[in-house]
Amino acid sequence: MKVVVPVESKSLETPVCPSFGRTPLFVLFDTENKKHEFLNNEAAASQGGAGIKAAQTLVDSGAAALITYRCGENAAQVLNAANIKMYKAQDGTAGENISKFIDGKLSLLTETHPGFHNHGGAKG
């Protein structure tokens, strides 16, 4: 299966990006062959609806799981519709979080926030 983590630069050694919708990159890790690739998050520069667009990128990538600190309600709806499971990230690098995920040490992310609509710089 494929698991996705938001990251700020093209390395497994970087911390998990605190933002899901506006992270610059995602790392897509394949737990079967242990290979990974990086996906650009085109939603990062969106005026609005970044979470929805970022979730679309994940759906299109064929990922089955996401490791993130937080996720907005709209993005969560898209991920749920595509049966992508959300796991709560822990302090540490993307690589460490992926290892914990494989070992079954991450818990499901059950809380979503209502989003930062119009409070993150974009204006209606």
Binding site for another protein (CB under 8 A): 43, 46-50, 52-53, 55-56, 59, 74, 77-78, 81-82, 117-118, 123-124
**If you search the block for the tokens 């494989």, which residue do you land on?**
102
**Cβ distance to another protein smaller for residue 64 or 82:** 82
In this structure, are residues 40 and 33 in contact, taking their beta carbons and an 8 Å threshold? Answer: no
**Cβ distance to another protein smaller for residue 71 or 94:** 71
Query: What is the enclosing helix (H) or strand (E) of 30?
Result: strand 25-30
Q: In the chain, what is the straight-line distance between the N-terminal and C-terminal CA atoms, in Å?
A: 39
**Cβ distance to another protein smaller for residue 54 or 98:** 54
Query: What is the enclosing helix (H) or strand (E) of 39?
Result: strand 36-40
CB of 18 to another protein, least distance (A): 20
CB of 67 to another protein, least distance (A): 19
